């Protein structure tokens, strides 16, 4: 599973949920079209980079039309658009996969133009959509609606179901039972208060209670996220791996990507989300069996300073019993991309002023931000699929001003831009701290508090 860009960071990557959730809501009118329904012959307006700027559904004479709901900030959406373009070329005039977004042309137009310049691919899209998104319920992207030439909805899926094999079966009128993508209407809750213990559940801790932790299985009414406040830490709908990453990485960004993880276990199918590489699995069933909610509330200020020590014990105890695995930190010598200075001339020192952070797939502009900030977002936003870690060896402590205009998923392109600042990523061996998840030592006693 490759992500080329991640444009909005809510640390969903920690949870290994490969969609953009909670950022895009369709209409709340309550009535939506389902599989088997016939759509009205509506007009599609505001189409850019297409053979026409508007068209009726009935004028699209394709055997299969897939409406691809997306957004510029959604990494899986951008990845899928390239995949969709390849599918369209393979099937030629038999199918159309038409991206649809509520974003304005002033946002989408320059974004698609940059993709054309960098990737040599011309992509179309309906922009400023206020009609189609109100016809289907969803709150995660990408969202795919399959429509036949009679305007009948044949399937509603995630993007991973849009494969050559599945499209071929639809075109050949063969039986195809694709699971319907079902998005949940999430609960409203206060992220500044604990979810499972406290006023949001009607439970108030008794006087003298210093800390408590809760494990709970998958809750479809909650977003996948992690929230840290002074008195509590909450991780919702996380994989086992995600909880190990937060606990043993102290919730630090470098540990939220897979190149800092060593899985020394025989079977990782219940630890890592593999639904996207194994389509024989039902994703919702896998979530029910293998996603977890964890909450740690600490009222004692001394214990609060060691919250991740507490969480490590909790995670090792729980998954030691449940899955027979445990985690620990280890320093390993491994191949890395190491950021180094190529001269003693400081070309990145900030000129001061208001901090600025302007990022998309092809632009990374920072003003008056730390180099650590730059490294963090470069790794978790753009290079999270790198098989080797990204580390800083410059020892630069001041804030920086930097502008990169390039394909930010490509380390060579990044190096070309970094050359302006006498910086370069060099591939070399270095000592790196990693999280190791291994089989539980059967002779080792669990720590029960």
**Full DSSP string of 27-82:** --SS----TTPBPP--EE--EESSS-S-EEGGG---SEEEEEE--TT-HHHHHHHH
Q: Percent of the chain scored above 90 by pLDDT?
A: 63
Token pair 């740690």: residue = 296
pLDDT, position 41: 94
**What per-residue confidence (pLDDT) applies to 360?**
83
**Element spanning 157, H or E:** strand 153-157
pLDDT at 208: 65
The CA distance from 125 to 49, in Å, is: 7
Phi, psi torsion values for 304, nearest 5 degrees: -60, -30
Half-sphere CA count of 357, side-chain side, radius 13 A: 12
Please report which confidence band the pLDDT of residue 195 belongs to, taking 50, 70 and 90 as the band edges: confident
- pLDDT tens digits for range 394-449: 999 999 999 999 989 899 999 999 999 999 999 999 999 999 999 987 545 444 44
What radius of gyration do the chain's Cα atoms show?
Answer: 24
- pLDDT on residue 16: 36
Q: What is the pLDDT of residues 316-353, one digit of tens each?
A: 999 999 999 999 999 999 999 999 999 999 999 999 99
Q: Give Dmax over CA atoms of the chain in angstroms.
A: 70
Q: For residue 375, give Cα distances in angstroms to 147, 359, 412, 423.
A: 43, 13, 16, 12
Distance CA 145, CA 156 (A): 5
pLDDT, tens digit (0-9, with 9 covering 90-100), for 28-65: 445 899 999 999 999 999 999 999 999 999 999 899 99
Half-sphere exposure of 131 (CA within 13 A, CB side): 13
Helix (H) or strand (E) holding 101: none
Give the 3-state secondary structure of residue 166. helix
Token digits for 323?
Answer: 């899955």
Tokens of 151: 């305007």
**How many Cβ atoms sit within 10 Å of the Cβ of residue 283?**
20
pLDDT band at 9 (very low <50, low <70, confident <90, very high): very low
How does DSSP classify residue 205?
P
**Structural domains for the chain:** 23-171 (3.40.30.10), 211-326 (no CATH), 333-434 (no CATH)
Contact criterion met (CB below 8 Å) for 72 and 107: yes
Q: Which two tokens stand for residue 202?
A: 């009607």
Q: Based on DSSP, count helices (H) and strands (E) in the chain, helices before strands.
A: 10, 21
Q: Where are the alpha helices (DSSP H) in 180-239?
A: none
Residue 12 Cα distances to 82, 262, 297, 331, 434, angstroms = 22, 20, 22, 26, 20
């Amino acid at each position: 599973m490759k992500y080329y860009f991640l444009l909005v960071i809510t640390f969903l990557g920690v949870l290994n949920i490969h969609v953009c959730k909670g950022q895009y809501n369709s209409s709340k009118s309550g009535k939506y079209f389902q599989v088997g329904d016939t759509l009205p012959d509506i007009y599609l307006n505001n189409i850019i980079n297409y053979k026409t700027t508007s068209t009726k559904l009935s004028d699209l004479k394709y055997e299969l039309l897939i409406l691809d709901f997306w957004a510029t900030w959604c990494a899986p959406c951008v990845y899928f658009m390239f995949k969709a373009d390849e599918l369209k070329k393979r099937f030629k005039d038999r199918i159309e996969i038409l991206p649809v977004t509520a974003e304005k042309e002033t946002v989408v137009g320059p974004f698609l133009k940059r993709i054309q310049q960098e990737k040599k691919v011309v992509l179309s899209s309906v922009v400023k959509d206020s009609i189609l998104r109100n016809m289907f319920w969803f709150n995660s992207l990408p969202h795919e609606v399959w429509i036949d030439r009679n305007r009948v909805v044949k399937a509603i899926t995630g993007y991973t179901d849009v494969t050559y094999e599945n499209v071929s079966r639809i075109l050949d009128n063969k039986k195809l039972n694709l699971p319907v993508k079902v998005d949940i209407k999430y609960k409203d809750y206060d992220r500044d208060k604990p979810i499972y213990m406290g006023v949001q559940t009607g439970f108030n801790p008794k006087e003298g209670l210093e800390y408590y932790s809760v494990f709970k299985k998958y809750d479809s009414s909650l977003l996948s996220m992690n929230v840290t406040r002074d008195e509590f830490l909450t991780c919702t709908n996380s994989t086992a791996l995600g909880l190990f990453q937060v606990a043993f990485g102290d919730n630090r960004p470098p540990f939220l990507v897979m190149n800092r993880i060593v899985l020394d276990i025989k079977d990782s199918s219940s630890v890592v989300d593999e639904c996207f590489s194994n389509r024989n699995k039902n994703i919702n069933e896998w979530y029910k069996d293998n996603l977890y909610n964890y909450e740690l509330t600490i009222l004692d200020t001394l214990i609060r300073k060691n919250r991740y020590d507490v969480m490590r014990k909790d995670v090792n105890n729980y998954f030691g019993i449940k899955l027979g695995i445990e985690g620990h930190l280890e320093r390993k010598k491994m191949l890395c991309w190491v950021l180094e200075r190529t001269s003693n001339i400081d070309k990145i020192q900030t000129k001061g002023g208001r901090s600025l952070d302007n990022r998309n797939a092809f632009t990374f502009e920072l003003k008056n931000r730390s180099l650590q900030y730059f490294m963090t977002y470069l790794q978790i936003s753009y290079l999270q699929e790198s098989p080797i870690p990204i580390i800083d060896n410059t020892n630069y402590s001041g804030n920086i001003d930097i502008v990169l205009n390039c394909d930010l998923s490509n380390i060579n392109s990044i190096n070309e831009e970094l050359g302006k600042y006498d910086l370069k990523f060099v591939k070399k061996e270095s000592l790196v701290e990693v999280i190791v998840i291994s089989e539980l030592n059967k002779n080792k006693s669990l720590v029960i508090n």
